[in-house]
Amino acid sequence: MDRLQTSVAVTRFPGRYIQGPHACGVIPRLAEELQVHKPAVICDAFVAANILPNHLAPVLTSLQPLYLTFGGEVTHEEVARLVAAGKHEKCDMIIGIGGGKTVDVSRAVAFESGRLPVIAISTLASTDAPCSARVVFYTPDGRFESYRDLPSNPTAVIMDTEILIKAPVRFLVAGIGDALSTWFEAESCAKVHAPNCTGFRSGMSAVHLARCCYDSLFEYGEEAVLSAKRGVITPAFEHIVETNTLLSGIGFESCGLAAAHAIHNGLSEFHCTHSFQHGEKVNIGTLASLFLTNKPKAEIDKVYRFCKAVGLPITLAQLGFADPLPPDTIRMIGQHTCVTGSTIYNEDPAISPAAVSAAVAMADEYGKKILAEH
């Protein structure tokens, strides 16, 4: 980091955050304000069949959008294909509707199409991707390739809670897992003035929003999961959708990542974790970070009991690993986490793979103890 990066704080926000039942209904007004003539709507085949017809197509009829089907993986080839299709029809706005991958690809397409305005409609409250300017790229065979931080965040993010309440509850729980990491990583980065996702230090507002994210999870998380199981939109459900998406989104991007996401990346090297959600893997990273940063026992217990109550994984076996673990596995998780450039070094530049392995083993052991409790 140069001198400017250590002394200047940069905070990023989406242009607008819009949430509530039937929130998609605001799009024609937004399009008018933005003087849009022809939007392109990007979604995958599942969303095209199950969500578009009831929730989006009826509100867009007057705009006559171009509908483009996203193949499902965020690759440079897929971005180029969608850009070419939108340019051919002279589209002047991108609307992405779907999960984290769809909102990522839509932001990339909007940028590559000449910085078009982009509306990100997330049909899952499963990650903090929608509000960010970050795009996670994969190889065509589905392996992580790189991150790209675009110069701008979405023009608007829409969370339509009539759509979200019908999504499988596991996605909401995974979003809670992703959001639970936010405060711990923000706190670690702020302590050592580690850079946030903009490369600069975090400002006071973003750090407060990250703390608000944490407090809101404990206040409303359990109730929100019960609402989702019952299929009813309650204030707690609305609060957790906002927590998972807006608070966690600003929190991670403007405060920075540290151990939880680094350990997520280490765990993702193991094939057995591939069918698990981003937030489920991040959660094991968060739990390990509690031991790595030597948190008080009362806080450790509070976090574990919360995770158990909402249904987040708290042991490696719950993430697909064999029990008992092959002896080398814990050691390799430490090594895969501590690669060059890993955000684990935002905790402490001198951190070692052995220290990470010990923290992951301890998180797993503590999880077994909590699971055995009645």
Contact 98, 43 (CB under 8 A): yes
Nearer to ligand NAD, 271 or 374 (CB): 271
Catalytic-labelled residue, pool 104, 278, 336, 364: 278
Task: Measure CA 325 to chain center.
Answer: 28
Taking contact as CB under 6 A, which single stretch among the options 44-52, 180-188, 203-211, 331-339 is the one that binds ligand NAD? 44-52
Calpha distance 175→278 (Å, rounded): 8
- Residue 318 touches ligand NAD, criterion: CB under 6 A: no
Q: Of 58, 142, 168, 235, which lies in the binding site for ligand NAD, with binding defined by CB under 6 A?
A: 168
Among the listed residues 101, 93, 78, the one whose alpha carbon sits nearest the alpha carbon of residue 278:
101
Of 44, 261, 336, 364, the catalytic one is 261
What's the rounded Cα separation, in Å, for the pair 80 and 96?
Answer: 15
Select from 15, 28, 46, 320 the one that contacts ligand NAD (CB under 6 A). Answer: 46
Using CA atoms, how far apart are residues 172 and 165, in angstroms rounded to an integer? 9
Q: Which of 160, 178, 239, 364 is catalytic?
A: 178
Contact status: 346 vs ligand NAD (CB under 6 A):
no
Q: How far is the C-alpha of 207 from the C-alpha of 185, rounded, in Å?
A: 10
Least Cβ distance, residue 178 to Zn ion (angstroms): 4
Q: Which member of 11, 75, 106, 123 binds ligand NAD (CB under 6 A)? A: 123
185 contacts ligand NAD (rule: CB under 6 A): no
Q: Which residue has the tokens 């006071």?
A: 204
The window from 126-134, 212-220, 225-233, 342-350 that contacts ligand NAD (CB under 6 A) reads 126-134
Among 99, 154, 251, 334, binds ligand NAD (CB under 6 A): 99
Q: How far is the CB of 33 from ligand NAD (least distance, A)?
A: 26
Identify whether the C-beta of residue 217 lies closer than 8 Å to the C-beta of residue 243: yes
| Interacting residue with ligand NAD among 14, 98, 285, 367 (CB under 6 A) | 98
Residue 265: CB minimum distance to ligand NAD, A: 12
Distance, in Å, from the CA atom of 265 to the CA atom of 186, rounded to the nearest integer, reads: 18
Q: Which span (9-17, 120-128, 340-348, 354-362) binds ligand NAD, by CB under 6 A?
A: 120-128
Determine if 278 is a binding residue for ligand NAD (CB under 6 A). yes
Q: Is 100 in the site for ligand NAD (CB under 6 A)?
A: yes
Min CB(113)–ligand NAD separation in Å: 18
Look up 278 and say whether it is catalytic: yes
Q: Is 129 in the site for ligand NAD (CB under 6 A)?
A: yes
Residue 178 annotated in active site:
yes
8 A C-beta contact, residue 292 and residue 355? yes
| Cα–Cα distance list, 156 to 13, 134, 235, 259 (Å) | 10, 15, 22, 30
Q: Name the helix (H) or strand (E) containing 65.
A: none
Task: Please report which helix (H) or strand (E) contains residue 94, including its range.
Answer: strand 93-98
Report d(CA 273, CA 251) in Å as an integer.
25
Question: DSSP states of 28-58 as a string?
Answer: HHHHHHTT-S-EEEEE-HHHHHHTIIIIIHH
Q: Which of 113, 196, 277, 343 contacts ligand NAD by CB under 6 A?
A: 277
Please give the C-alpha separations between residue 178 and each of 15, 125, 211, in angstroms, as whole numbers. Answer: 22, 10, 14
> CB-wise, 48 or 180, nearer to Zn ion?
180
Active site residue 264: yes
Any contact of residue 281 with ligand NAD (CB under 6 A)?
no
Of 267, 371, 272, give the one whose Cα is nearest residue 320.
Answer: 272
Cα–Cα distance measured from residue 332 to residue 127, given in angstroms and rounded to the nearest whole number: 26
Complex with ligand NAD: residue 132 or 188, whichever CB lies closer = 132
Report the interface residues with ligand NAD, using CB under 6 A: 44, 46-47, 98-102, 104, 123-124, 126-129, 132, 134-136, 163, 167-168, 277-278
Residues taking part in catalysis: 178, 261, 264, 278
